[in-house]
């Protein structure tokens, strides 16, 4: 019989859950990760998504020991180009945001989800990670008690933890067990996702064509390859996803207007209906919500997983502080600090992405005018553009230790406690 009592149990082995487990390990907790091995989101086949991860997220991956494994599969994003392809009467000018403008080499990197999960799993298996990985078909039940939560797997095994990190996606059973209500909404849009090769170099530039049904975005991958997120009305997205490779290739070339030359191989496609979700609280009743268990955001502006990774880093700070002070890592004050720490970042990103998306799909002239003027302002007013670039990458203000260079040492120095203290093991 293996170990069954832990400081923290993380439920869900997507990128947010894995990063949370590793981060909590760095914060001095001993961690159970209960997850089905590499299970992709329901109904989409293998996860062919990539995520554009900004500088703080890359620092986190370095601090967790995962970056060296994922870097060879990833490409830097040194600039973002926005092209108004709405066909509106008042067409906004083309804008190029360059990382060099804010003194950076790159905004971040485009990272394939599959490679990211593999790299994080390898880091969890490395000696000294403090993470015990428990393969399971799923956690079937989470029972909250006064001192600890009890998790029961579908195989009938039980585990106890002071804190449960619910990283079990948008239909989170951890969230339900904690009784945390959500607000959900839908958009009449879906994203078609694919990776493709092309004849002309992308020069490490991501390009967003703003179109009436939503953005059409290419993001660099290593060498002459890019990933595509093509947002359309659901019927059109369905049609595109079902095209044969030749017809899909042609459709991409047409939309790109020659930008990347002729399109070569197109890989598998997946479709994601656009929706949103936000939890009323990110922590309550011994459960902290991370990643899509706490917030779902449309794939516009590359915010979703960046938020999830900031959840992981913030929770690590909160738990490390609780352990160092001899407080309960799953207690109300730890969870209130975590929830409050995540509120404004999540709320502001959801609002910004929502406004941007609705301004594109609105048929109203005044809204097109406002969006056009906004783009002109961003193009012509340097300080405004630099502010928008910095805010787009991560919120201003103090950052959790694991988002900073050398964060693993920082969190250990600031918060490490004697190994035996507060461990439920
Ligand atoms: C088209 C598209 C493009 C995107 N592009 C970007 C981008 O450029 N940048 C960015 O930052 N974000 C992006 N995102 C968002 C990003 O993909 C998500 O935020 C991220 O994948 C969510 O990770 P997660 O770990 O929270 O959830 P998931 O990946 O859904 O993981 C949840 C895990 O929990 C497991 N699970 C569920 N129930 C249980 C249970 N009962 N017991 C145990 N395990 C369970 C599941 O098997 C799953 O592995 C994009 C999203 C889409 C759809």
- The enclosing domain of 368 has a CATH number of 3.50.50.60
CB-ligand 1 contact for 11 (6 Å cutoff): yes
Nearest CA residue ID for atom 37, ligand 1: 168
Give the integer Cα–Cα distance in Å for 314 and 321. Answer: 11
Residue 422 lies in a domain: no
pLDDT at 397: 75
Average pLDDT over residues 347-357: 85
Min mean pLDDT across 98-107, 162-171, 173-182, 322-331 is at 98-107
pLDDT band at residue 94 under the 50/70/90 scheme: confident
Instruction: Assess whether pLDDT exceeds 60 at residue 185.
Output: yes
Question: What mean pLDDT do residues 8-27 have?
Answer: 97
108 lines ligand 1 (CB under 6 A): no
pLDDT of residue 419: 45
Within-domain flag for 386: yes
- What is residue 66's predicted lDDT score, i.e. its pLDDT? 97
Mean pLDDT of the chain: 89
Within a domain: residue 201?
Answer: no
Across 136-242, the runs of DSSP E, i.e. the strands, are: 139-144, 149-153, 158-166, 182-198, 205-211, 214-221, 225-232
In this prediction, residues 93-111 reach a mean pLDDT of 90
293 CA → ligand 1 middle, Å: 9
How many whole angstroms separate alpha carbon 340 and alpha carbon 52?
26
Residue 358 has pLDDT above 90, yes or no: no
| Highest-pLDDT range among 97-111, 244-258, 371-385 | 244-258
Higher pLDDT, 15 or 97: 15
HSE on the CB side for 300, CA within 13 Å? Answer: 34
DSSP 259-308: TT-SEEEE---EEEEEEEEEES-SEETTEEE-GGGTEE--SSSS-HHHHH
Helix (H, G, I), strand (E, B) or coil at 221: strand
* Phi/psi at 324 (5° precision): -65, -35
Radius of gyration of the chain (CA): 22
Q: Is residue 131 part of a domain?
A: yes
Give the SS3 label for residue 116.
helix
Q: How many domains does the chain have?
A: 1
Does the CB atom of residue 39 touch ligand 1 within 6 A? yes
Residue 337 predicted with pLDDT over 60: yes
Q: For the chain, how many residues are written?
A: 425
Two tokens, residue 382: 């340097």
Range name among 106-115, 288-297, 361-370 with the lowest pLDDT average:
361-370
Per-residue pLDDT averaged across 361-370, rounded?
58
User: For residue 17, what pLDDT is reported?
Assistant: 98
Average pLDDT over residues 23-39: 90
* Ligand 1 atom with minimal separation from the 40 CA: 49
Q: For 257-281, what is the mean pLDDT? A: 95
Give the lowest-confidence range in 31-35, 141-145, 271-275, 298-302: 298-302
pLDDT at position 362: 56
Best of 43, 51, 216, 346 for a ligand 1 pocket test (most atoms within 8 Å of beta carbon): 51
Instruction: Tell me if 125 is assigned to some domain.
Output: yes
Q: Please give the average per-residue pLDDT across 259-275, as a whole number.
A: 94
Q: For residue 86, what pLDDT is reported? A: 76
In a domain, 211, yes or no: no
Atom 2 in ligand 1: residue holding the nearest Cα: 299
Ligand 1 touching residue 229 (CB < 6 A)? yes
pLDDT at 420: 36
Q: Is the CB of 52 under 6 A from ligand 1?
A: yes
Between 278 and 392, where is the model more confident? 278
239 in a structural domain: no
Q: Give yes or no for residue 167 CB within 6 A of ligand 1.
A: yes
pLDDT(126) > 70: yes
Q: Mean pLDDT, to the nearest integer, of 127-134?
A: 92
Percent of the chain with pLDDT over 90: 72
Assess whether the C-beta atom of 270 lies below 6 angstroms from ligand 1. no
Ligand 1 pocket, residue 198 CB under 6 Å: no
- Indicate if ligand 1 lies below 6 Å from the C-beta of 117: no
User: Does 226 reside within a domain?
Assistant: no
Range of the domain at 335: 5-185+274-415
Question: At residue 368, does pLDDT exceed 70?
Answer: no
Cα-to-centroid distance, 15 and ligand 1 (Å): 7
The mean pLDDT value for 20-44 works out to 81
Angle between helices 304-325 and 407-415 (to 10 degrees): 30
């Amino acid at each position: 019989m293996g170990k069954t009592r832990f400081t923290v149990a993380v439920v869900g082995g997507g990128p947010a859950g894995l990063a949370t487990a590793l981060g909590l390990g760095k914060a001095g907790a001993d961690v159970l990760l209960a997850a089905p091995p590499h299970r992709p989101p329901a109904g989409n086949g293998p996860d062919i998504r990539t995520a554009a991860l900004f500088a703080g997220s890359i620092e986190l991956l370095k601090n967790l020991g995962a970056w060296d494994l994922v870097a060879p599969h990833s490409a830097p994003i040194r600039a973002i180009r926005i092209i108004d392809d709405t066909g509106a009467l008042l067409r906004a000018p083309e804008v190029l945001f360059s990382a060099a403008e804010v003194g950076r080499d790159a905004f971040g990197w485009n990272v394939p989800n599959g490679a990211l999960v593999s790299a994080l799993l390898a880091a969890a298996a490395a000696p000294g990670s403090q993470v015990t990985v428990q393969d399971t078909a799923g956690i079937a039940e989470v029972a909250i008690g006064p001192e600890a939560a009890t998790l029961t797997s579908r195989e009938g095994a039980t585990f106890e933890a002071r804190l449960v990190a619910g990283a079990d996606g948008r239909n989170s059973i951890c969230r339900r067990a904690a009784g945390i209500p959500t607000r959900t909404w839908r958009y009449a849009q879906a994203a078609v996702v694919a990776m493709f090769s092309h004849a002309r170099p992308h020069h490490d530039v991501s390009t967003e064509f703003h179109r009436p049904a939503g953005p059409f975005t290419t993001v660099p991958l290593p060498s002459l390859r890019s990933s595509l997120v093509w947002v359309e009305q659901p019927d059109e997205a369905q049609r595109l996803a079902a095209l044969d490779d030749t017809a899909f290739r042609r459709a991409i070339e047409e939309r790109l207007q020659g930008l990347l030359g002729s399109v070569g191989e197109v890989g598998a496609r997946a479709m994601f209906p656009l929706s949103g979700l936000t939890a009323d609280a990110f922590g309550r009743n011994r459960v902290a919500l991370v990643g899509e268990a706490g917030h779902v955001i449309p794939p516009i502006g590359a915010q979703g997983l960046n938020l999830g990774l900031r959840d992981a880093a913030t929770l690590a700070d909160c738990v490390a502080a609780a352990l160092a002070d001899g407080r309960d890592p799953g207690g109300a004050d730890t969870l209130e600090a975590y929830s409050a720490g995540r509120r404004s970042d999540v709320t502001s990103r959801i609002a910004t992405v929502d406004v941007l998306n609705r301004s594109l799909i609105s048929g109203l002239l005044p809204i097109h005018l406002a969006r056009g003027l906004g783009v002109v302002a961003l193009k012509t007013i340097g300080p405004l553009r630099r502010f928008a670039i910095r805010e787009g990458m991560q919120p201003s203000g103090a950052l959790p230790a694991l988002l900073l260079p050398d964060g693993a040492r920082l969190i250990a120095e600031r918060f490490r406690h004697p190994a035996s203290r507060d461990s439920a093991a």
